[in-house]
Amino acid sequence: MPIACSRMCRVAVGTVLGLLVGWGGLSGVAHAALITFNFEGNVTSVLNVSPYFNTGDKLVGSYSFNSDAPDLSPGAQFGTYQINQLSFTIGQNAYSTIIGSGTPQQIRITSNSSVAPSFPTDNYRVMSVGNSGPSAGLLLPREFWFDISGDNKFPNDSLPLTPPSLGNLLSRDRAFHMNFVQPVGVVGNVNGELTSLTIAPVPVPGAVLLFGSGLIGLAAFGRRHLTRSS
């Protein structure tokens, strides 16, 4: 009898795992393999935007893209890929991209090492032009971007599906910038360094978890019932 109960538990657990794996596969198809990266950083300098921004402010944000996004740039040295969304907070100020505004929200890969071995520095840039968010006094938010650079870091211009490593890079090779503008020509900027770039976990639907909990609970109930009967 205990053997039968053990089998029941294994069936329940196996069913739950099968549902989770199946959902993961279907999710990839239904959502076109949407990938989200999270990033963090620290502000190291500001120009004409105090007291709205200060050295030491924290940068926290994320951006999403499709794994099958087409390369919008011809040639082997440059790759340009559309971003689905980008949002970030610097200090207490929150910004987001204006998708469909006609301005670029892109991931751009420069693979110099693939075409110019004598100049091997490669670059990964995430950029957003025309951001929505608070102004710094009379200065309006304009551009945000960050760069990850390194010798032979990107052997081709294909879209990385995992976050480029920040390890062993100088702060200048993992830097972020945000520009502010005013119609009369005055500009301001926020500069800093990236400290983290990670992939966001894929959420599991609550319905799957609830159904799985029910199956495991049913198996446990059956085990107790059979044990008492024996």
66-113: pLDDT as tens digits: 999 999 988 888 999 999 999 999 999 999 986 655 567 999 999 987
End-to-end CA gap in the chain: 7
Same-domain pairing of 81 and 186? yes
Same-domain pairing of 120 and 45? yes
What is the CB neighbour count within 10 angstroms for residue 49?
Answer: 22
Same-domain pairing of 59 and 154? yes
The secondary element (H helix, E strand) that includes residue 189 is strand 187-199
Same-domain pairing of 73 and 180? yes
Domain count, the chain: 2
Mean pLDDT over each residue of the chain, to the nearest integer = 81
Containing structural domain, residue 109: 34-199
Same-domain pairing of 148 and 52? yes
| Position 154, amino acid | F
Backbone phi, then psi, for 187, in 5-degree steps?
A: -125, 160
Of 5, 70, 60, whose CA–CA distance to 32 is shortest? 70
| Position 169, amino acid | L
Instruction: Give the length of the chain.
Output: 230
Same-domain pairing of 67 and 98? yes
Cα distances from 20 to residues 13, 60, 212, 214, 219, in angstroms, run 11, 30, 9, 14, 18
pLDDT in tens, 111-167: 987 666 666 789 999 999 878 899 999 999 999 999 999 998 998 999 999 999 999
pLDDT in tens, 154-194: 989 999 999 999 999 999 999 999 999 987 778 999 999 99
Answer for the pair 193, 175: CB distance below 8 angstroms, yes or no. yes
pLDDT in tens, 20-37: 444 444 443 445 689 999
Same-domain pairing of 102 and 179? yes
| Sequential DSSP letters for 114-142 | HH-TTS-EEEEEEEEES-BS--BTTBEEE
Same-domain pairing of 116 and 133? yes
Same-domain pairing of 158 and 215? no
Same-domain pairing of 76 and 165? yes
